[in-house]
Chain A
Amino acid sequence: MGVLVLTPEKVAQLEKLLQDYLISIGVSLALLIDEAGNILVSVGENQDVDVTSLAALAAANFGATNQIAKLLGEDDFSILYHKGKKDNIHLSKIRDELILVTVFRDDVPLGLVRLKVNQVAKEIQEI
């Protein structure tokens, strides 16, 4: 059983990364969560979104998809993307235990989100 200890410095670093890479391109909400569904940091306009439930569901969704991958003989699906009428959600695995959740509107291109998620993932891995 591991424990993740977040110091105020780490939180500030992570928030700044999410802000600089994702919120700056128009992503409305970015959450960094662990595979147990805990939220490490969240940035963006999350007033009307229940982020606790969102994190739990995203982690469960990822877990379920990984089990499906195993059934199919895949190693892993490292990215999940769901498209809605207005909001889209993109989940991407970072390191072993972390998942980056981004929520964005249709006016933000998916390709750009993907690119930025990849870039920020590299930076997060180094923290």
Chain B
Amino acid sequence: MALIDLKKKEIYCKIVYYGPGRSGKTTNLLYIYNALPDRFKGKLLTIETKGERTLFFDLLPLSLGKIKDLDIRLQLYTVPGQAIYKPARKIVLKGADGVVFVADSLRIRREKNKESLADLKEHLFEWGVDIHEIPLVFQYNKRDLASMGIPILSVEELQEDLNKDLNAPYFEAVAPKGIGVFDTLKTISKLSVRYIAKKYL
């Protein structure tokens, strides 16, 4: 649920990074956090297990750009991708204004990507949101693995598996190096903020 505060002249927008375990969601937030100067970012909050897997969520608050005369405040969340944390994913997704689906390009993760997208659809539906309506961007991450001789899915295959009927914008990425990270962020924030503004401003 977006929040528009006309007193502080701020618009709050919640963006959730979704996707299977180890696809690189937290890595996206870490890269953004490390790349941005202090004036654009708040504290990075992470709730993780000992093995650095997300247990509940990560949160990175950003303050980037303006629309009309309102400052845009983005709250970037990640969900825990591991199958057992399904209830936690549902909670984090509550009130999302936009979703980034971080897919794993590793060929052996093909089914996990599809399962995770089905899980996303189901949870959105439970919150009364249609996946075709909410702003959505795909990120095909770990494109660098091909050069190490590891079998990865082609972009066409990923598109066919995940984005065929949704037709959302997509980006190839190598999250630890920042490739595709800001393109993804810019696109989802633009879509989400515009969506809110169109409806309510």
Nearest CB of chain A from residue B81's CB, rounded to whole Å = 17
Tell me the count of chain A residues lying within 8 A, CB to CB, of chain B. Answer: 27
Q: Assess whether B59 is in contact with A56, with CB atoms less than 8 Å apart.
A: yes
Tell me whether A5 is interfacial, beta carbon within 8 Å. Answer: yes
Given contacts A36-B1, A37-B75, contact A7 B7 (CB under 8 A): yes
Chain B contact-residue range equals 20 to 34
Pairwise interchain contact A60-B7, C-beta atoms closer than 8 A: no
Interface residues of B in 14-50 (CB under 8 A from A): 14, 42-43, 45
Tell me the complex Cα distance, A36–B1, Å. 6
Please indicate the chain B residues that have their CB under 8 angstroms from the CB of A64 in the complex: 56, 87-88, 91
B42 to chain A, nearest CB (A): 6
Which segment of B93-101, B169-177, B180-188 sits at the interface? B93-101
Given contacts A35-B95, A64-B88, whether A3 and B5 have CB atoms under 8 Å apart is no
B129 at the interface (CB under 8 A from A): yes
Interface SS, A side: mixed
Within 8 A of A (CB), among B47-73: 56-57, 59, 61
A32 to B59, CA, bound (A): 19
Q: Do the beta carbons of A38 and B14 come within 8 Å of each other?
A: yes
Q: Which of A8-36 contact B (CB under 8 A)?
A: 8, 11-12, 34-36
User: Chain B's nearest CB lies how many Å from the CB of A59?
Assistant: 8
Closest residue on chain A to residue B86 by CB atoms: A67
Residues of chain A having any CB pair with chain B under 8 Å? 1-8, 11-12, 34-38, 40, 50, 52-53, 56-57, 59-60, 63-64, 67, 97
Instruction: Please list the 4 inter-chain residue pairs (A to B) with the smallest Cβ-Cβ separation, ordered nearest first.
Output: A36-B95, A63-B91, A8-B7, A38-B3
